[in-house]
A = this chain, B = another copy of it.
Amino acid sequence: MLIVMKPQASEEDVRRVCEKIASMGFRAHPMPGAQRTAVGITGNPGALDPEEFETLPGVAEAIRVSKPFKLVSREVKAEDSVIRIGPPGSDVTVGGRELALIAGPCAIENRQQARAAAAAVRKAGARMFRGGAFKPRTSPYSFQGMGEEGLEILAGIRSEFGLLIVTETIDPENCDLVEKYVDVLQVGARNMQNFSLLKRVGRSRLPVLLKRGMSATLDEFLMAAEYILSEGNYNVILCERGVRTFADHTRNTLDLSVIPAVKALSHLPIIVDPSHGTGKRDKVIPLARAAVAVGADGLIVEVHPDPDRAASDGYQSLFPQQFETLVEQASAIAGVLGRTIALDPGASVSSAAVAEKI
């Protein structure tokens, strides 16, 4: 059930609707929009009677929501969500007209490597830095990340380079630690249906980057996001990173059709990871272009100062120079769609440069 308030409804009206919902033993999710506020109801075992709500002051209508997902649905919130990243005052966002650019190495290996990567991606214009401190690896004998020391290095990158930090959190307890250091909590593909973790990040104050599972259907992907929203955290960024198929010319098959499919059903932003989505360095730039062209809200890209010596995923990491090329080409394509990539003001790849080169 979704309660849509009238445009002129007061805060008092919204409060009264929420109290009514709580008194029935359910959970109210007020979602202020540009035009008017909607209030989602969750926890109700079956259909509710719209009349119970439509008679309250300020209520425009009560709508039965037909999809299995509610809070992530456009039925509940028609406008695109724009997620603000970083401390108060930060103007970095994901969603909306500006495309987000997140880049950095697969794993933080040491301070020097992290600084070199940060310098490179910032030079090319990225405003967010990715880097794993806790790495889920197929083998227990592979490098599992630097742990808290890696988080400290990431915090140093933020101070020194002004980049906002995106890193993966791997379990509820680990989340307590990670959220002290970073700006965006990443939930990896293997954990997309780790519901304990989803609930935990749903109670975080930080935005969440949720990667699609390797064999997740669209419904399962959106329901995973619904877990996070249902706990009260509405700041979820979806991420397509390739799915598992029979095709063997790439490590995963990047499913770009999921971008318009998500946008038709949900107000949440969705970005694309062409690095994991292809698993091959020489496919990253073409697929990054395609991701922007299809309508993604941003890119997350692996860049390493010395890919051939990377502790993990080196074969899919771009050289810094390649990343600059990616930014130029992606910016130009964004321009065709009437969008821009939000670049760091001091970036070598300026909008002017892009316009000139084409």
Query: Which A residues lie at the B interface, using CB under 8 A?
Result: 42-43, 68-70, 136-141, 170-174, 190-191, 193-197, 199, 214-215, 217-220, 223, 226-227, 230, 243-250, 253-261, 264, 277-278, 282-283, 286-287, 289-295, 329, 332-333, 335-337, 358
Contact = CB atoms under 8 A, between A and B. Distances in A.
- State the oligomeric state as a number of copies: 4
Contacts of A70: 141
A226 B139 contact: yes
Given A140-B230, A215-B246, A329-B336, A293 B282 contact: no
A257 B255 contact: no
6 contacts: A215-B244, A245-B245, A249-B257, A259-B286, A260-B287, A289-B293
A287 B246 contact: no
A141 to B, nearest CB: 6
Given A171-B172, A243-B247, A253-B253, 9 more contacts: A42-B141, A140-B195, A140-B199, A172-B172, A215-B244, A243-B246, A249-B257, A333-B336, A336-B358
A218 B245 CA distance: 13
Which of A246, A254, A278, A336 has its CB near the most chain B CB atoms (within 10 A)? A336
A260 B245 contact: no
Contacts of A69: 139
B290 A256 contact: yes
A255 B253 contact: yes
Contacts of A336: 329, 332-333, 335-336, 358
Given A246-B244, A253-B253, A260-B283, A193 B195 contact: no
Given A246-B246, A247-B243, A293-B333, A287 B172 contact: no
A286 B290 CA distance: 9
Contact of A215 (B140, B214, B255): B214
Nearest to A250: B257
Contacts of A277: 257
A1 B290 CA distance: 37
Contact of A249 (B42, B261, B337): B261
A174 B196 contact: yes
Given A214-B215, A293-B293, A294-B287, A260 B246 contact: no
Contacts of A139: 68-69, 223, 226
Given A286-B294, A291-B290, A293-B292, A246 B217 contact: yes
